[in-house]
Amino acid sequence: MSAIFPKWTNKLPLMVIVGGLLTVIAVTAGVWYYFTPKYFRVGYQPIQPVSFSHATHAGQLGIDCRYCHSMVEKSWFSNIPASSTCMNCHNQVLKDDPRLALVRESAASGKPIPWVQIHRVPDFVYFNHAVHVNRGISCVECHGRIDQMEEVYHSKPLSMSFCLDCHNNPAAKVRPADKITDLGWTPSPDPAIAAQTQAQYGKKFVHDFRVESLNNCSACHR
Amino acid sequence: MRYFILIFAVLVLVVVGVAGRRGDLTRNRPIQIFPDMKRQLKLRPQTANGFFANGLSSQLPQPGTISQEKSMLVGGKEVYSFEDAPVNTGRVTGATNYIELNAFPVTEQLLTRGHRQFNIYCAPCHGQTGEGNGITKKIGAMAVVANLHDQRIVKLADGEIFNTASNGKGVMQGYAAQISKEDRWAIVAYLRALQLSHLGVADDLAPETRAKLNIK
């Protein structure tokens, strides 16, 4: 009488277990690694209608962020500058450059340049720029080193846990009020001393700026 | 089993190969896995929106609109932005003459504010010291930048400097949209302090300061 099950079936339970485990691990790892704003949002670098370089303007020329984003300290929304702001300088600088044709046209006609928005939190999140920059949170914390980007890309995940990391411990991020737009600023060039200084002054700034860093849902979701 | 491992490895490689790593630069718009209510049909500033005829969410006010913004406290008095007041126009009420002195009482706070705003909005061209040697001049991009220590500018009335900052002059465009009125007056006050730093003579200093600095 021949065997009903061939010999290899002895290994079948082991194969099922190993195969199942591998699949579960791969799927879990894939979801953990990919299903997050750290993957989906970070690195988003759309083609803008005008090839404006933040590295040139904010980095090399050292123009303050607020020269163009002038409402950031007063409004929840950090404005995209009007084309007339560009023309403050570009009515003389590169005034016939073809790369700036759209800017000149927009300033003359009043028709806005269709910039592509990169950083955008969900519509049920009410992020307030003014509250943050007036209380010692630098642009760099959420936007990265814009002053080194030829073309701006999304550099931080801006996920809910990203917000909460800072809201749970604002003292690690707050900096002197006059260093908000100084994106390369650190308390000290030496990382060890920088961490020590941050720990020392962070608490003081949190107290002085009256940082509340609310953690209840309605702080952001209204 | 061998085939399973092979297919498994190929699948993993294909997924990693297509999806790439976290933080890779991409031109593609981020995918929303769970759209929920992340994008809502509401007006957001400075976005395209079909509700208005010109397709924009942010509309310009109708001509003749009176601003409902808060009043300004000028030396203890409330002034609204629609009033014909020196603080709004830089001119004497009911006349076209510029006011001689700052509309705000000059305090240390006002000067500090002016210093900060001057370095943001004026320094790119006029330079942090106001000598007209800002970054645009240094890279040779601007042909004419006024030296703010020029006798011509020193002699201007405060109101006229405010007017220039607001409405521009020559190739300089106005900054009314970028700098608030309070800040423009603060900048005027700070500019006066800058000018004074160039105009000063040793006799202006107190005797003890002069002794300390060894100035006869």
**Do A125 and A215 fall into the same domain?**
yes
Instruction: For residue A110, tell me if it sits in a domain.
Output: no
A143: closest CA among A202, A212, A49, A72?
A72
Query: What's the pLDDT band for A1 if we cut at 50, 70, 90?
Result: low
Beta-carbon separation of A84 and B173 below 8 A: yes
Cβ atoms of A194 and A188 within 8 Å: the answer is: yes
Instruction: For residue A69, tell me if it sits in a domain.
Output: no
Range of the domain at A31: 9-38
> Is residue A69 pLDDT above 80, yes or no?
yes
Tell me what the mean pLDDT of segment A46-52 comes to. 95
Picking from A61, A68, A182 by the largest number of B CB atoms within 10 A of its own CB, the best residue to mutate is: A61
What distances in angstroms separate CA A35 from CA A5, A45, B32, one per listed residue? Answer: 43, 19, 10
- CB-facing half-sphere around the CA of A195: CA atoms within 13 A: 2
Nearest CA distance, B25 vs chain A (angstrom): 4
Cβ-nearest to A63 among B12, B39, B124: B124
A208: closest CA among A176, A161, A183, A185?
A176
A137-166 CB burial, b ≥16 within 10 A, e <16? bbbbbbbbebbebeebbbbbbbbeebbeeb
Instruction: For residue A107, tell me if it sits in a domain.
Output: no
Picking from B5, B18, B22, B128 by the largest number of A CB atoms within 10 A of its own CB, the best residue to mutate is: B22
Which of A180-184, B31-35, B97-101 has the lowest average pLDDT? B31-35
Beta-carbon separation of B141 and A94 below 8 A: yes
Q: Give the pLDDT score at B141.
A: 77
Class of domain B101-202: mainly alpha
Instruction: For residue A169, tell me if it sits in a domain.
Output: yes
The domain segmentation of chain B, as residue ranges, is 101-202
Which of A52-56, A217-221, B136-140 has the lowest average pLDDT? B136-140
**Do A34 and A123 fall into the same domain?**
no
**Radius of gyration over every alpha carbon of chain A, rounded to an integer in angstroms:** 25
- Contact list, A87 vs chain B (CB under 8 Å): 173
Residue-averaged pLDDT of chain B? 89
| Residue that wins the pLDDT comparison between B202 and A94 | A94
Query: What's the pLDDT band for B130 if we cut at 50, 70, 90?
Result: very high
- Contact list, A117 vs chain B (CB under 8 Å): 47
ipTM entry:
0.87
Number of domains chain A contains: 2
Question: How many CB atoms are closer than 10 A to CB A11?
Answer: 11
The predicted-structure confidence for B181-191, as pLDDT tens digits, reads as follows 999 999 999 99
Q: How many CB pairs under 8 A join A and B?
A: 112
Query: What's the pLDDT band for B145 if we cut at 50, 70, 90?
Result: confident
Q: What φ, ψ does residue B98 adopt, rounded to 5°?
A: -75, 145
